[in-house]
Structure 1
Amino acid sequence: MADALLEVEGLDAFYKDFQALYGVNMRIGQGDVIAVIGANGAGKTTLMRTVTGFLKAKPDAIRWKGRGIGGLRVDQIAALGIALVPEGRLLFPSLSVEENLLIGGQMKRKGPWSLSRIYKLFPVLQERRNVPATALSGGQQQMVAIGRALMANPELIMMDEISLGLAPVIIKSIYDALPGIVGEGLTAIVVEQDIAKALSVSSRLYCLQEGRVSLTGLSGEVSHDEISRAYFGV
């Protein structure tokens, strides 16, 4: 197997005295689109937050291109080429759409993504570029959050619950844009509660249940019964 871009091995994560992840193992290759599924409270967001440095981990529990990064700061991990689209979007309410997007480019990493390309991907953002970002609809705010992450020109983009709370037509438009996002070799981890949607966009999946990996496999080969057992623990 080719060298992994991101490896997670024996990862534990804590919120003070509460343990949220138990010995999680993952292996992500260059160009993979990985789905992470699981019920509320399964540990999906905790996994994303730990990989991106918001929660600390042992250095060698998270390796980027073979280098242990578990103890690095959020900005150091971002500079390596890992970007997060956080659950809830977390846009800056006092800034316009364009200003929120430009913040994503502060690392000045070289790559294909620029303001003009984000506007080509999501034309409505160009139309509303001077509007306060939080004055947009939920779906448009999600586009800003995705665009902000892409402006960092990451090698790995991690998208946490990007369809949460959105209307089906908006979810479809965002997922329709995904091939254009990952089409040039960008690696992606998509956290999603909609199992069918997760399977449709990914090559491989990991299911979390109570902080542990309960199932992993190729998205096109795992059965609905296997997923149901792993998802609900029954």
Structure 2
Amino acid sequence: MLEVNDIHTYYGDAYVLQGLSLKLEQGQILGLLGRNGVGKTTLVNSIVGFNPPRRGSVVFKGEEISRQSSFETVRSGMGLVPQGRRVFPTLGVEENLLVAERSPERHGWTLERVYALFPRLHERRNQRAKTLSGGEQQMLAIGRALMTNPDCLIMDEPSEGLAPIIIQGLWEAIGKLKEQGLSILLVEQSAHLALKLVDYVHVMSKGQVVYSGTPQNLLANEQIKSSYLGI
């Protein structure tokens, strides 16, 4: 579904991603873990097209996309749930969803289906997004991405700043997306949350992947957990 091959990404003169590679298989949830500042969001920006890599390639469904603009990447089937939600604050809930709507013929995501996944959004459908709680805004950000009917969904720190009971509901929803076969790249700082969902995991440090393996193997590796995840 998605291949990142030896990418090198900069912010000005700052060398952030230093030869990073990963592969997301069809129907898989791939976890990307690491502490703050290691380059996780830079990787997301490189994939989506906000900050393209200077070297290396990003291949999505067999097509090179590393020189595409972000709207072309989304049009090709990449959905993004950005860090910090970034909903449109002055638009209503339903307006936020409809503004991202693309043909449901791809995967069948409609307003009704998003509301079935997140009933709270249906209850709040006429409220402005800025009046929602953090958890409701995160539901809206996920629902908005699903309305693009993506083949692949990138989720950047979806648990950030949320209460445990809200996170539990979100994780149940992501689990349902997994059951439906959606390919997901889950970027998380919280390892114990991510490892409940992912099929395979990469750990990042200083712009590189320093560990790759199954959730079970990572849980058993005390050195990696201590050195790179603070566990």
Using the size of structure 2 for normalisation, the TM-score is 0.94
Secondary structure of the residue aligned to 2:217 is coil
- CA offsets per residue over residues 62-99 of structure 1, 9 Å max, x none? 01122211000001100111111000011111100011
Distance 2:224 2:119 in 1: 37
CA contact (8 A) 1:208 1:230 kept: no
1:167 matched residue in structure 2: 163
Secondary structure of the residue aligned to 1:61 is strand
Does residue 103 (structure 1) correspond to residue 92 (structure 2)? The answer is no
2:14 matched residue in structure 1: 18
1:77 matched residue in structure 2: 73
Judge which range, 34-43 or 222-231, deviates more.
222-231
1:182 matched residue in structure 2: 178
1:6 matched residue in structure 2: 2
How far 1:232 sits from its partner (Å)? 5.5
Does residue 94 (structure 1) correspond to residue 90 (structure 2)? The answer is yes
CA contact (8 A) 1:109 1:152 kept: no
How far 1:224 sits from its partner (Å)? 3.7
Residues 14-163 of structure 1: pairs in structure 2 closer than 5 A: 14-58=10-54, 61-106=57-102, 110-163=106-159
Distance 2:150 2:83 in 1: 18
How far 1:102 sits from its partner (Å)? 1.0
How far 1:220 sits from its partner (Å)? 2.0
CA contact (8 A) 1:59 1:69 kept: no
1:194 matched residue in structure 2: 190
- Equivalent residue pairs, number: 229
Q: Which amino acid aligns with 1:220?
A: Q
Distance 2:104 2:51 in 1: 25
CA contact (8 A) 1:36 1:191 kept: yes
Distance 2:18 2:103 in 1: 32
The 1:91/1:109 distance shift into structure 2, 3 A limit, reads farther
Q: Which amino acid aligns with 1:225?
A: E
Secondary structure of the residue aligned to 2:155 is strand
Distance 1:53 1:135 in 2: 30
Distance 2:56 2:17 in 1: 16
Distance 2:33 2:229 in 1: 11
Judge which range, 97-106 or 75-84, deviates more.
97-106
Judge which range, 109-118 or 18-27, deviates more.
109-118
Distance 1:162 1:227 in 2: 23
The 1:59/1:83 distance shift into structure 2, 3 A limit, reads farther
How far 1:22 sits from its partner (Å)? 0.5
Give me the CA root mean square deviation: 1.7
Q: Which amino acid aligns with 2:161?
A: G
Query: Runs of at least 4 residues of structure 1 off by over 4 A?
Result: 106-109
2:213 matched residue in structure 1: 217
Distance 1:107 1:17 in 2: 41
Q: Which amino acid aligns with 1:22?
A: Q
CA contact (8 A) 1:13 1:21 kept: yes
CA contact (8 A) 1:97 1:131 kept: yes
Q: Which amino acid aligns with 1:218?
A: T
Secondary structure of the residue aligned to 2:209 is strand
Give the % identical residues: 39
The 1:87/1:196 distance shift into structure 2, 3 A limit, reads same
Secondary structure of the residue aligned to 1:49 is helix
Does residue 231 (structure 1) correspond to residue 189 (structure 2)? The answer is no
